[in-house]
Chain A
Amino acid sequence: MNPTDQHAAFLQLIQDNKGILFKISNSYCRTRDDREDLMQEMVYQLWKSGQSFDTHRKFSTWMYRIALNVAISFYRRQRRSGLRITFGGDLHLMEMEDRTEGEAEMEEKIDLLQQFISELGELDKALMILYLEERGYREIAEVLGITETNVATKLSRIKGRLKQKFLNNFL
C-alpha cells in the first residue's frame, strides 16, 4: 500500500471507530480539554502503531488495547501543556429540543450509565466498556490480560452494582 492509500485507510479507520474513541474519552476524562487531549493521544498512538499491526490478529482487540492503554495512562498523569488539536463536535450529548418522553428517559439512563462508569476504577472501567461494546469474554480477557473466569466474576459483581443503582433511580 502506498503512503496516500495508507493515509486514506487510516482516516477511514478513525471515522469508522470514532464512536468508541469518544466514549472512551468521555469515560476517562471529566473536562472537555482533557477529552480532546486524550482523543489526540489515542489517534496518534493508533497511527503510530498501525505499521506494527499483525493482520492475522483480530483488529478490534488491537484497537481496544491501544485506546484503553492510552486512556488509562493518560488518566493517571497530570494534564500537560503544549499543542492541542481541537476535534469538531462537543462530546456532550446535544440537547434535543423536540424529544419525546421515551427519548428523555433514555437520555437520563445514558447519563446514569456514564456516571456509574466514571466512578469505577481505571481497570474496572475498561472492563465495563468492553462488556457494553458487546465483546465476548475471550476477547475481553485478551484485551485486559486476565482469565475469562476472572472477567466473568468481575463483570457479574460490577453489573450487580449497576443494576442496584438503576433500581434506586428508576423505581
Chain B
Amino acid sequence: MSTDEFQQIWKAYDVKLEKSLQLNLRLLQEVQSQKARSVLRSFIASRVIGIVIGLVYLALLVIALWYVRTQPVMAVSFVVFIICTVIAIGMYMREIGVIGKISYGDNIIDTQRKLAAIQGGIVRTLRISWVQLPFWATFFVSNGLLRKGGRAFWMIEIPITLFLTLLAVIFYKNITIENAQKKKWVKGMIRGAGMKSVTRAMDFMEEIEDFKNE
C-alpha cells in the first residue's frame, strides 16, 4: 500500500462528511455572541475565585494580626501567614496576565508549552504554602503561655516546631516543577492533593520536549 493512499482514504472521509454533516447556523451565531465558554475563560475564572478567597483570608489575617499585635510570637506567625498569602495571590494574578498573552494562533509547541507551564504554576504556590508550616505550631503561643507554659509545654512545643521546620525545608526544596517529573513521592503528593491536572500537564511538558528534540 502506498503511503499516499492514506491521503486518498482521508479524502474519501471528507466526501462522506460533506454528505452527512450540516452545521446549525443559528447555533453558530450563539457561539459568535460569546455565550459559549472557553477553556481559558474557565481557567481564568478559577484563578479569580482563588484571588477572591485569598483576599477574604488575607483580610481575616490582618484583623487577627491587629488583635495579637502586642504578642510577639503570635504576631510574627500571622505576619508570615500574611506574606505567604500575598505571594500566592500575586502568583495567581501573574498567571491571569500570562493567560491573557497566550494566543492559539501561535505554533502548537509554544502555545502548549505555555499552557502546561501555567497549569504547573500551582506547584509554585503549593511550595510557598509549605513555608508557613512551622508557624502553625506557634500562632497560638501568647505572652501568657510563654510565661506560664512550663516545662511540659516546651517539651511538646519545641520538638513539634523543629519537626515542622524540617518538613517545611524538605518540602520547599523538593516540591518543584522539575521534581514533579523526576521524584515519585513529589508526583504522588501533588496527585494526592487533588491536582491530577498538574501532573498531566507535567507529563505533557515532557512529551513536548521529546517531540521537539527527537
Q: Which residues of A contact B (CB under 8 A)?
A: 7, 10-11, 14-15, 18-19, 22-23, 40-41, 43-45, 47-49, 52-53, 62, 65-66, 68-70, 72-74, 76-78, 80, 82-83, 85-91, 93-94, 106-107, 109-110, 113-114, 121-124, 126, 131-134, 142-146, 150, 153-154, 159, 162-163, 166-167, 170
Q: Which residues of B contact A122 (CB under 8 A)?
A: 204, 207
Q: Which residue on chain B has the smallest CB distance to residue A144?
A: B108
Cα(A166)–Cα(B212), bound, Å: 28
**Are B107 and A89 touching (Cβ within 8 A)?**
no
B33 CB to nearest chain A CB (Å):
9
Chain B residues touching A, majority SS: helix
Q: Which residues of A contact B6 (CB under 8 A)?
A: 113, 132, 159, 162
B208 at the interface (CB under 8 A from A): yes
Cα(A126)–Cα(B112), bound, Å: 12
**Are B23 and A87 touching (Cβ within 8 A)?**
yes
Q: Which residues of B contact A (CB under 8 A)?
A: 1, 3, 6-7, 9-10, 12-14, 16-25, 27-32, 34-39, 42, 103-112, 115, 197, 200-201, 204, 207-208, 211-212, 214
Cα(A124)–Cα(B3), bound, Å: 16
A19 CB to nearest chain B CB (Å):
5
B207 CB to nearest chain A CB (Å):
6
Cα(A167)–Cα(B44), bound, Å: 48
A-B contact sample (20 more), CB < 8 A, given A93-B17, A123-B211: A18-B21, A18-B23, A19-B14, A23-B10, A66-B105, A72-B108, A78-B197, A80-B37, A80-B42, A88-B21, A88-B23, A88-B27, A89-B20, A94-B16, A94-B20, A113-B9, A113-B10, A123-B108, A143-B108, A144-B107
**Are B3 and A65 touching (Cβ within 8 A)?**
no
B20 CB to nearest chain A CB (Å):
4
Chain A residues touching B, majority SS: helix
Query: Out of B3, B14, B38, B106, which one reaches A159, CB within 8 Å?
Result: B3
B114 CB to nearest chain A CB (Å):
10
Pick 17 A–B contacts, CB within 8 A, sort by A: A47-B32, A65-B104, A76-B200, A83-B37, A93-B13, A94-B16, A94-B19, A109-B9, A110-B12, A110-B13, A113-B13, A121-B211, A132-B10, A134-B7, A145-B110, A162-B3, A170-B1
Cα(A130)–Cα(B27), bound, Å: 28
B39 CB to nearest chain A CB (Å):
6
